[in-house]
Copies of this chain bind each other. A is one copy, B any other.
Amino acid sequence: MHPLLREYFQRLSPVADQDIEYLSPYFTEKTYKKNEFLLREGEICKYNYFVISGCLRLFTTNKEGVENTRYLAFEGKFGTSFTSLISEKPAFENIQCLEKTTVLRIFRDDFYHLVETEPLINKVYRNILESAYITTQKRIYDFQGADSLERVQWLLEHQPKILSRLSNKVVASYLGITPYTLSRLKAKL
């Protein structure tokens, strides 16, 4: 098993190496080119992805064509369209690589089978859901009522990697402001 994934599991539930090795066969390594899509809006999401290197982003496009980035997963994080994975309905979001990206992916059905049968994976899943929920909530809470400067400052404090590593266009779509506004703000910081 890839050390990053082993670390991930062990941080949640300290177990011996051999007790998680059996999970290895479920995960397949795959590398995607920069800008390649792992999932497009309307497709049913079939995998859960664990990022080994690179970066995934989940984003939606509204009727005017404006992109809205909802989640960014760097190395050591799981990323997928949970809403589609859970419901087995077409996703309303896209998953795309922002860099050349290597992932370990696991089939939806294998994943939920493990959630049902393996206490470790049940716990891992619970933890993913709990942190996804908390993170999302915190972001809504912190953003609602915050003006655009406060949003940029929030990002500087909480996820500086996003600001330093990704393009302004992506950052702006993550913050819910226009690239113009972001550019003006950065000039003032």
A35 at the interface (CB under 8 A from B): no
Report the minimum CB–CB distance from A142 to chain B (whole Å): 9
Q: How far is the CA of A92 from the CA of B126 in the complex (A)?
A: 22
Instruction: Give the interface segment out of A21-29, A42-50, A133-141, A152-160.
Output: A133-141
Chain B residues, Cβ within 8 Å of A70: 137, 140-141
Residues on B with C-beta less than 8 A from A129 are 126, 129-130, 133
> In the docked arrangement, what's the CA distance between A126 and B86, Å?
11
Among the 9-residue stretches A4-12, A60-68, A96-104, the one with 4 or more Cβ atoms under 8 Å from chain B is: A60-68
Interface of A (DSSP majority class): helix
User: Do the beta carbons of A141 and B92 come within 8 Å of each other?
Assistant: yes
Q: Is A132 an interface residue (CB 8 A)?
A: yes
Contact B87 A145 (CB under 8 A): no
Residue of B whose beta carbon sits closest to that of A122: B122
Copies of this chain present in the complex amount to 2
Say which size band chain A's interface belongs to: 20 to 34
List, in ascending order, chain B residues with CB within 8 A of A122's CB: 122
Interface flag for A181 (CB, 8 Å): no
Residues of B within 8 A of A126 (CB): 115, 125-126, 129
Q: Which residues of B contact A176 (CB under 8 A)?
A: 144-145
A183 at the interface (CB under 8 A from B): no
Which residues of B have CB within 8 Å of A82? 130, 133-134, 137
Nearest residue in B to A130 (C-beta to C-beta)?
B86
A148 CB to closest chain B CB, in angstroms? 13
Interface members, chain A 106-136 (any B CB < 8 Å): 115, 122, 125-126, 129-130, 132-134, 136
Given contacts A64-B145, A83-B137, A136-B137, 16 further A-B contacts (CB under 8 A): A62-B145, A68-B141, A70-B137, A70-B141, A82-B130, A82-B133, A83-B138, A86-B130, A87-B134, A92-B141, A115-B126, A125-B126, A126-B129, A129-B129, A129-B133, A144-B176
